[in-house]
Amino acid sequence: MGAMAILRLALVFSILTSFSLLAGSSPSPSTKLQIVTAERRIDLTSHIVKVFLTLKVENIGESSASEVLLAFSPTEADCLAVVKAAASAGKKKKKSYLPLDVKPTDLSDGPNGTKYYLIHLLKPLGKGEAISLEVLYILTHSLEPFPVEISQSESQLVYYRDSAKILSPYPIKQQATFLKTPSSRVESFTRVVPTDRANTELRYGPYEEQPPFSYSPIIVHFENNKAFSVVEELVREIEISHWGSIQVTEHYKLVHAGARHKGAFSRVEYQSRPNSGVSSFKNLLAELPPRVHSVYYRDNIGNISSSRLRTNFKKSELLIEPRYPLFGGWKSTFVIGYGVPLEDFLFEAADGTRYLNYSFGCPLAETVVDKLTVKVVLPEGSKNPSAVVPFPVEQRTERKYSYLDVVGRTVVVLEKSNVVPEHNSPFQVYYQFSPIYMLAEPLMLTSVFFLFFMACVTYLHLDLSISKIKQT
């Protein structure tokens, strides 16, 4: 226990020395705004950290303000997957939310590499006016397993690093931070007076009259046995056929990103003891579209029969089980495929342009995707493809040849890293297509059979025998 305490103190000291210059080291990018109240709630119940931030921003300057800055430390910026903001109005049940545009911005005057996001207000904030903002940002890979290796019978403990005070380019008059852990087992946490703990919740604050860029590093060491399911690479191929179906094929490279498993694996202990392998997971839930058909689940060995499909008019749920339970550091590679009706996802605009409306992201629940590639294979003869995605992605086109293709099929490729369930939003792929191209393959097959038939008739009518000419 003495060595463990020394290691914790060393980690705390390293964090303190890394960010000691953050507090009050740089002037605010905009001094005409101040935050009257700020409340931050951090959800640590999963390996995907969700932070809910409520701000009341007041304009204390002479001119109006149309933008509000959010500040993140370099560590947080590297783990950011989603940043959303909305303006709230009303109280409790009558409260309404208006989404706001949030984009990253580059400012050189931030201390120690502070990164900024810019919230664009719907209307400028006048002198003396205030606005309430609701901000959601999601962090991935921000929980660090410690110890880094555990046996089959041990629980998983993780570190979470943050600040007791909210990092902001504006002065904050009053603030508080709440952290929710998955269980009441908290090994240790940094105390920054005032600090309070009740069951699964930690509270830091309230703190009053904090200057810009105030920062008080904290470390929370707690138990988290949730499945740290991470897909290192996911390739989703959506192939459109105007003959009535859309075929979806998904290639997964899954890993358990929690504390690595040490020692031998005992199947008897795993099945007989309920607390054995509590941090492992043996099944995953995939949410598929309604009316799916021809569903299959296989790996490199072959088909895996340990899966169950439940369907209704709203959605379909596929519960899949790998061939073995996944412990920390273990990996699994598999493929999920299914078909969906064409009329549910392919539509035609008023100008004749066709477009696919499908869900982006990963169907697996509570899963992080390090690299996601979505390939939309358009029918042969499609022209002028374009994609509309509600968040930044990398786009390109390529060509694919399938059975009976002559010029090949256009493929719209969308790539994004650090994908979370909040990215499961509809996206559209627009393209132009003439129905005459649907006759290309039937005419090709008909021509081949006709030529083959004519060749056979010609062959049967030819006399290729060699005979001597009789002389008279």
- Which pLDDT band holds residue 270 (cuts at 50, 70, 90)? confident
How confident is the model at residue 50, as a pLDDT?
Answer: 96
pLDDT at 243 over 90: no
Omega of the bond leading into 147 within 30 degrees of 0 (cis) = yes
pLDDT at 422 over 80: yes
Instruction: For residue 106, give the 3-state DSSP assignment.
Output: coil
Alpha-carbon distance of 429 to 357, in angstroms, equals 7
pLDDT in tens, 101-151: 999 988 877 778 889 999 999 999 988 899 999 999 999 999 999 999 999
In a 10 Å sphere around its CB, with 0-12 CB exposed, 13-18 middle and 19+ buried, how is residue 341 labelled? middle
Whole-number CA gyration radius for the chain: 30
Single out the residue of 307, 139, 331 nearest to residue 229, CA to CA. 331
Q: What share of the chain is helix, strand, coil (3-state, %, to 5)?
A: 15, 50, 35
DSSP assignment, residue 156?
Answer: P
pLDDT in tens, 62-78: 888 999 999 999 999 99
pLDDT at 7 over 50: no
How confident is the model at residue 438, as a pLDDT?
Answer: 63
- Which pLDDT band holds residue 312 (cuts at 50, 70, 90)? confident
Q: For residue 432, what are the β-bridge partners?
A: 383
Say what the pTM is.
0.84
How confident is the model at residue 460, as a pLDDT?
Answer: 83
